[in-house]
Structure 1
Amino acid sequence: MNHPRGLGSLIFLVLLLFMVAAGRQVFPRERPPAVFIPASEKLLVELGQGAARPGMYQFSDAQGWGGVISLTNLDCVREARANWPPPVTGQRLDFFCNSLNFLDISYSWMPASKRMALAIPLHPQRMNQEDWQALPGIGPRLAARIEEDRQLNGDFGALEELMRVRGIGPKRINDWRSYFSGGVTD
């Protein structure tokens, strides 16, 4: 039984094309992780003063305080205390030794520009005048009006409440929506 000329080459080319199209599925370039960690469990914080290597760090919820504390380079007692609130994505943590020579932590928020670059949702209550200026279309004068309004009328419970500030309308709110989380809390 004779096969038409080139049938073997055609089959080889089809198989080769299939493998190339499948890409990483056929020829993985890296090994899959041993344990899958869902994206919702990651903790992205900035470690500042007192850290051996200040900078951005990503932790899983399972690591808890032990993983964070192991990155400090202070000579004080480094034991996790139950009264420390857990870190939250978007926070900056600075470490120092208190008067009893125990490790203590100072919490603050990363600047809005950094949170925006890392796709960490913003919260109107956690923003200062400089943070407001990181949003498109806000200059120093509008940022000052936003801060003045918050001082006079209280926090913004929802993004739409920013429309009470002169110069902010529905179009601006719509433009900024992608930078803020759906439900504003605390």
Structure 2
Amino acid sequence: MEPAPGLSRWQRLRLGFQDRCGVEPRTLAALAVVLVVAAGFAVHHYAAGRPRTVTAGAEPVAAAPSPAAEQVAEQAAEPETLVVDVAGEVRSPGLRTLAVDARVADAVEAAGGVLPGTDTDGLNRARPLSDGEQILVGVTPDPVAADPGAVGGPVNLNAATAEQLQTLPGVGPVLAANIIAHRTERGGFTSVDQLLDVSGIGERRLSDLQSRVTL
């Protein structure tokens, strides 16, 4: 059909398109919009339905503390202590509770210090302490007493009773029994250093006992 004269260019194009396709341009535009919306929905549905790789973050698992770690923690929370008897020429003689790594100088200081004019040449202030020992400041022990367990004199390892051995620093009933059992089994001590063979005596305790025992 030939477009009527006097129509605008747009009108003539619309009429020509309608004649060829048999569809109104308005209807065609509506169909195009529907197709665009449908295509967009399809793309969105496809993207949303794709499987995604999700990396799950592994939560840290706290390792259970080992028995050794628990023991160290307990020791750190409750430090070991020892008790010594400070006697002689000090301001406040008596029992003192000190840290396990304390030395003679710490015990003397805890007892108020040495009295003025006291001779301390024979006092080893750097010596480590043992639990239960007595520290004599400015007092010279008797050389050797007839009684192997006499106070102030060396204790005879081969003759002392369990009670007499317990007067030594760091020696309790168990260690005294070990000393007696060892000398009975070996026929007596021939050297003070043989105390190292007794269960419960190490280098440190031997150093504390060497000047306090005899054979």
Structure 1-normalised TM-score?
0.35
Structure 2-normalised TM-score?
0.31
Q: Which entry has the higher C-alpha Rg, 1 or 2?
A: 2
